[in-house]
Amino acid sequence: MSGGLLVAGTTSDAGKSVLTAGICRWLHRQGVKVAPYKAQNMSNNSAVVVGPDGRGGEIGRAQAMQAAACGLAPDLRFNPVLLKPGSDLASQVVLLGEAVDTITAGTFRQLRPRLAETAYAALAELRETYDVVICEGAGSPAEINLRAGDYVNMGLARHANLPTIVVGDIDRGGVFASMFGTVALLDPADQALIAGFVINKFRGDRGLLQPGLDMLRQVTGRPTYGVLPWALDLWLDAEDSLAYGRVLGRPAAPHGTEWLDVAVVRLPRVSNATDVEALATEPGVRVRLTIEPAELAAADLVVLPGSKSTVADLAWLRETGLADAVATHVAAGKPLLGLCGGFQMLGRAIHDPVESRQGSVPGLGLLPIEITFDPRKTVRQSVGTGHGGLPVHGYEIHHGYVSQADPGLPPLLTGDDGVGEGAVLGAVHGTHWHGAFESDGFRRWFLTEAARLAGRSGFRVAPATSFAAARERSLDLLGDLVEEHLDTDALWRLIEAGPPAGLPFVPPGAPPS
């Protein structure tokens, strides 16, 4: 068997990533050898994968999550092309895990044939290895201005003859119009691959929805394979920080008598915002993303997350008054955590001839370190220890490194090579390691220390919270939703047999491509 399916969406954040993961988990439970795939991802939330040559490479965080749903270790082929935006006009290109170029919209057209060739080859290899490959599209297949060079949505579906389902988020409104319009804007050959629809995030009486489903089938000739209900617990491993609301997850009641309030600065070019998800799994920890200085003043712990453009985001901190709010927070003795790019901002100076090319700029001056950017990108998985020898696992993705530090500055972590990583000075903590707080013991120590510094004597960490278990519960919930709310028999027929024959054309359609 060499089955496949493409999950497309009416918009970005319509539910493609979670539906792909849910279908993967459902198939994995049936004993199917299944793998995820996304030809091209645009996201600064990435995961580190060790490639066949032993070197670290990057893929989208969502594809790493989907791999876990399949019971697999992440593979560079699961996301062969990753675009990491550094500004509104330029993105770093990561090809099979390795950063190869920085492009603009104009230069992307020149590079696109090479990217498409690599993506198609990766999919072909996966289909030879696995029984089923569940592919995720990007954005919407009805982005008709981009259709000519598309190799992620209908370009991919047509290349590999993949049946395609379109998922729409009913919580946004206009779901029936967007589903009809998605089909009606495609040319006949593309429409012939659109098998049907899935509605996501429905709240209320299913009976009230049925007339719309019936009419959608009448006007498109295609069924709706199911309606997924709104599920508050599905928030781990977001593909983009914009997928988060202001508060992450649904915080459980505190284990002690007090809450710990965590404010995460939503940087314009935030990278790997998923780091703070681990903090949000702890009972009594309220994690919110914010751009308001007043909210930093009210927080117990402030987090500066990673950034794809450290110098530019540091300038934004100053322009918005957030830098002053951070300084005031630290002056009050309250804890501050900097992660990767956020850690780099805490130093006395940043020397950057690589990413921003602005040379030397002053940092926030909260740690006695200096950061220098190197053209070579550090991409690796990391293992070491934290406070009291607590085991810590993480990963690194950065160009900047600590080029100067005051003697005797304590590290936050120690790698398994015995070299210190990050820094601690009073209430200020920083590290280049992403994912460190997924290590349960280290996270509990850090939150306990943060509560002490913030004066939250009534806060207590729960003794048995497991981030890995929380992620597995989320993946199992996705599998449950697919099994309970989708027509899995019909999905199975699509995967086995391919696009249904005789699907009607929906006018007006685009000119043939």
Map residue 15 onto helix, strand or coil. coil
Is there a catalytic annotation at residue 340? yes
d(CA 86, CA 59): 16
Q: Which of 70, 135, 340, 432 is catalytic?
A: 340
Question: Which of 191, 182, 32 lies closest to 199 in space, CA to CA?
Answer: 182
284 and 258 Cβ atoms separated by less than 8 Å: yes
Kindly report the backbone phi and psi dihedral angles of residue 446, in degrees, each rounded to the nearest multiple of 5, phi listed first.
-65, -45
434 is catalytic: yes
Cα–Cα distance measured from residue 291 to residue 166, given in angstroms and rounded to the nearest whole number: 34
Nearest Cα neighbor of 164 from 192, 132, 186 is 192
Q: Which amino acid is at 466?
A: S
Which residues contact residue 247 at a Cβ distance below 8 angstroms, ignoring those fewer than 6 apart? 286, 287, 288
Helix (H) or strand (E) segment spanning residue 436: none
Q: Please choose, from the candidates 240, 314, 296, the residue with its C-alpha nearest in 3D space to the C-alpha of residue 272.
A: 240
Q: Please state, in angstroms and rounded to a whole number, the distance separating the CA atoms of residues 442 and 215.
A: 54
400 strand-pairing partners: 373
Residue 426 to residue 47: CA distance in whole angstroms? 31
User: 106 Cβ partners below 8 Å, 6+ apart?
Assistant: none
Collapsing DSSP to helix, strand or coil, 411 comes out as coil
Which one from 28, 429, 432, 434 is the annotated catalytic residue?
Answer: 434
Closest CA to 118 of 103, 97, 104: 97
Known catalytic residues are: 340, 434
